[in-house]
Amino acid sequence: MEQLLQKVYDQQNLSKEEMSSIATAIFEGQLSKIRIAAFLIALKAKGETAEEMVGIAEVMKQVATQIDFPAGTAMDNCGTGGDKSNSFNISTTAAFVIAASGIPVAKIGNGSISSRSGSADVCKELGIDINMRPEDVTHLLEDVGIAFLYAPHVHPNMKYVMDVRKELGTPTIFNLIGPLSNPVQLETQLMGIYRRDLLEQTAKVLGELGRKRALVLNGAGFMDEASLAGENHFALYENGEVSLSTLNPADVGLAIYPQEAISGGDAKENAAILRSVLDGEPGAYLDTVLLNAGFGLFTNGKVNTVKEGVELARELIESGAAKQKLTDLIAYQKEVLVK
């Protein structure tokens, strides 16, 4: 272990097996918080590789709480966070739109690490119970078509790094790994990432982890979401190949807005924004969700182009179907699930 840690300190890349050894030590509580912090910062300074990401993601999935849901039917649209954009909870809002199309969405998320309101925070504010038992998640996916998985709940061994991540206050490999370690066996996945230089290799990682189709996205201004502020870069993984492309809002019939137009706030403010979007209130918040939901629908293969995805997303919001998903989720948890 000392040799492996020193290798990272010396700016040398780890093999998948070497990273797995370190990850196992972390999740078994064998490393102190100081050593974990030193490792994470050294890894960040060196730059994370695809092999390292696969190594730690596989260990996280092995030690995660297992969710029983048919493999190859659900998708996730979680982003890494860490882009410092102070945006509202875009992917959380878009998840209801995607689910309204009939795609089961297993959305993994966390509380605030490097932002004012993480997906878990806004879910609590909305009245969504995020501390679901594994069987509850299965029922939600089967009967409602959407479930939110609270990362510390499905990854209990993350308790060894949570304080370190909060104290560091900067994105680390765990931001990159979070969306990769969903315990539900996903067929497709849309993943926003704050590192544009990692688009292609992250798409390859998703392929190695069993995704049949995946899209990794970095927005204008290096957001970990699709942005209306300019050019969006993405890598599409399909049939073992990765293709790189870009997309501007005008390409899908949406207007340009500055990043400041989608600023968020605390959980209460972001919950109000989410509801306004699902109510169809026009503006930058709505259009941003249309764009991101459009990417999600395209990633899943529900539509053939992102533009078609945007059009379908608009229909799902205007019809009230997306808002109904939120209503159904809250009602099902209160009325059907017995704690």
Binding site per annotation, positions for 5-phospho-alpha-D-ribose 1-diphosphate: 79, 82-83, 87, 89-92, 107-115, 119
- For residue 153, give both structure tokens: 């709940």
Q: Which residues sit in the known binding site for Mg(2+)? A: 91, 224-225
Q: How far is CA 162 from CA 30, 81, 132, 167, 253, in A?
A: 15, 15, 20, 9, 41
Binding residues: 79, 82-83, 87, 89-92, 107-115, 119, 165, 224-225
Q: How many Cβ atoms from other residues are within 10 Å of residue 107's Cβ?
A: 25
Pairing mode, strands 232-238 and 241-247: antiparallel
Rounded CA-CA distance 235/90 in Å is: 20
Binding residues for anthranilate: 79, 110, 165
CA nearest neighbour of 60 among 159, 147, 148: 159
Residues 172, 248: Cα–Cα separation, whole Å: 29
CA distances from 283 to 70, 152, 273, 277, 301 (A): 38, 34, 11, 9, 27
Distance (Å) of CA 79 to CA 91, 175, 231, 238, 290: 7, 8, 18, 19, 16
Block residue for tokens 């050593």: 35
